[in-house]
């Protein structure tokens, strides 16, 4: 893996594994290299790798098993959609919107669509 461009390295790692999983190159159950091994091999900070793997786990692509490492969980596009929806909701909540405001907006949007 080569790091290039302006995107942060953690994001490049995330996208790299995301693509491999979505294309089926890495199948469910595949064991990823350890954070430490990946960091040493690519001469980057282990925290950067950990951040990427944590994002992949949150997105539903990986499962972390304590003292064993990270394993590919699924290649489902639903995982990506769930992750993006959760990210959008987190952003709205961090901007100060209440859950009631978000729900009211969703209900209005649903009425507009129907």
Per-residue model confidence as pLDDT tens digits over 22-39: 888 999 899 999 999 999
**Do 13 and 60 sit in the same domain of this protein?**
yes
Output the CA torsion sign for 34, 38, 39, 41.
Answer: positive
Burial class (CB in 10 A: 0-12, 13-18, 19+), 50: middle
The answer to whether residue 40 sits within a structural domain is yes
Return the closest-CA partner of residue 75 out of 63, 60, 87, 90: 60
**Do 25 and 57 sit in the same domain of this protein?**
yes
Residue with tokens 């159950």: 29
**Do 26 and 81 sit in the same domain of this protein?**
no
Burial 27-38 (b: 16+ CB within 10 A, else e): eeeeebeebeeb
Q: What is the pTM of this model?
A: 0.66
What is the C-alpha to C-alpha distance for residues 63 and 98, in angstroms, rounded to an integer? 31
How many CA within 13 A on the CB side of residue 42? Answer: 21
Indicate the average pLDDT of the chain.
Answer: 87
**Do 49 and 68 sit in the same domain of this protein?**
yes
Q: Which domain holds residue 32?
A: 9-72
Strands 62-65, 69-72: pairing kind: antiparallel
The answer to whether residue 86 sits within a structural domain is yes
Q: Domain total for the chain? A: 2
Which CATH number is 37's domain given?
A: 1.10.10.10
Higher pLDDT, 48 or 83: 48
């Amino acid at each position: 893996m080569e790091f290039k461009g302006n995107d942060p390295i953690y994001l490049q790692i995330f996208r790299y594994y995301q693509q491999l999983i979505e294309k089926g190159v890495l199948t469910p159950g595949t064991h990823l290299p350890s954070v430490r091994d990946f960091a040493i091999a690519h001469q980057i900070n282990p925290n950067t790798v950990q951040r990427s793997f944590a994002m992949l786990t949150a997105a539903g692509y990986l499962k972390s098993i304590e003292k064993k490492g990270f394993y590919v969980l699924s290649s489902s596009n639903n995982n990506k959609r769930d992750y993006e929806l959760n990210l959008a909701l987190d952003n709205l909540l961090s901007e100060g919107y209440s859950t009631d405001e978000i729900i009211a907006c969703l209900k209005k949007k649903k009425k507009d669509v129907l």
